[in-house]
Structure 1
């Protein structure tokens, strides 16, 4: 195991905490929109003051900004789905991203998956499906269910880009641009939604917020940004599947 794989696996452990922490915060009175906002706002408060780009880095920064906007909307759809469909199903859909990554690599980038990686992807589907109980869906559950697929799709596309970006950019700068994209879309939506409460109902909720922004977002995102270019998209997807075990 090389250093890149170790970084991706460590990041996956942190990312795997997201479903648990999101459920705790949703149960503590926060809306899916606020959970999505706080997930990115906490690291943004720490990192954004040091966002500095040279003129030559503007194009790459804009690309990361777009990824941030897409990821922010995708995570909002995912957290919303967790309140409308069975939790195990939402988690199963999200952690199908290694399979989506292989498909994106094949259909978009012309990277035909090897037999070993195809088998690994199938094993991930089997492992995830074991935690999913069959359900009959009501009519109002189908839209949240479809929206749940946005998060793994955006993440799969991101994996391929982060593994081979158009231009070099320092990992922290890449994170800052992405976080700015998250806030551009989520902060106005949060204000317009006029939530009944902006804060958790219990004292423990503040700990969950810090854990969501730090242990489940900031640290793993940084480690992932460092590790993905070292191992490539296919190995990144497979190594990242350890998220399912943690979740």
Structure 2
């Protein structure tokens, strides 16, 4: 399949929303690998680097080289670097706080995505936008109870706050500011930016080396890279362009109930009525969130499709 044939792969708003939900399940599996790798002594920056490394290796041939694409490529790489660095606090919080609480903090990103869409894309905030944001934040308010969290957990959650801000920004850049870049080009630019931001910190953590120390660590890295990064990232990058940042953010919030289930089934954390209500609120946000009309396809891409 050629790069340009991806442009022929048409998704309806409903099917694109479903694709984002599926990718959210993949992203929601991150804590399983993070806690396993942390148990082997791997630091958060190194884990984040590992998560993106396989994707970069696979997608590197799709790095855009045309001069007219360089500006957008640098924009996406910058957004990727910001997200990569912010993920460190999120991964650290996973090891020190309940997954439900970490997920609640992270799932505030639809609000930030809406604000960035307003500022960067001049996308009006309709009542459906506010309703979707309110439902997600309502789910967050139900679960984030300081009285039940230790000071260490609260501090970790504070350091996790930059992650949803950065991810909200990335959603807007990916879905509305990529110009002529096709989905694979957008994905590789973002991932290279993340790698560039994380590599110095990972080298510091590893005493100058980022090589896995055992076979057990290696297979966890490969599996994490495929299941939580490469496959869902490609699907996400394609689908988010079909439905815009607001519905993308709302559908991606399905990661929250995924994290609830992971915490309950894998780590024995609580899953009761409150968690169930939160999951329902998030699913309601997905249904309420607006899907703006698709932007006209750039003329250069239409010509490339016809030529391919």
* TM-score normalised according to structure 2 size: 0.70
Residue 170 of structure 1 corresponds to: 182
Contact 1:19 1:91 in 2 (8 A): no
C-alpha displacement at 1:202, in angstroms?
7.2
Match of 2:232 in 1: 220
Q: CA deviation at 1:217?
A: 0.8
Q: Does 1:235 align with 2:213?
A: no
8 Å contact kept, 2:76–2:174: no
Matched residues, number: 245
Alignment correspondent of 1:145: 157
Q: Distance in 2 between matches of 1:136 and 1:120?
A: 27
Deviation at 1:109, TM superposition (A): 4.5
1: CA distance between counterparts of 2:202 and 2:178?
33
Change (3 A) 1:28 1:185: same
Q: Kindly state the Cα deviation for residue 132 of structure 1 after the two structures are TM-superposed.
A: 4.0
Residue number among 8, 16, 20 corresponding to 1:8 in the alignment: 20
Greater C-alpha radius of gyration: 2
Partner of 2:279: none
Residues 166 and 28 of structure 1: CA distance in aligned 2, closer, same or farther (over 3 Å): closer
Name 2:127's counterpart in structure 1: 115
> Whole-Å Cα distance in 2 between the matches of residues 208 and 29 of structure 1?
13
Q: Deviations over 1:141-168 (max 9, x none)?
A: 63x4333111111111111222212511
Q: Determine which structure has greater relative contact order: mean sequence separation of CA pairs < 8 Å that are 6+ residues apart, divided by chain length.
A: 1
In the aligned structure 2, how far is the partner of 1:245 from the partner of 1:140? 20
- Does the 8 Å contact 2:94/2:102 carry over to 1? yes
**Where in structure 1 are there 5+ consecutive unaligned residues?**
none
Provide the rounded CA distance (Å) in 1 between the counterparts of 2:222 and 2:245: 30
Query: In structure 2, what is the Cα distance between the partners aligned to 1:215 and 1:193?
Result: 25
- Which residue of structure 1 lines up, in the alignment, with residue 212 of structure 2? 199
CA apart distance, 1:41: 1.0
Give the alignment's Cα RMSD to 1 decimal.
Answer: 2.6
2:297 corresponding residue in structure 1: none
User: Does the alignment pair 1:55 with 2:64?
Assistant: no
Q: 1:67 aligns with which of 43, 68, 79?
A: 79
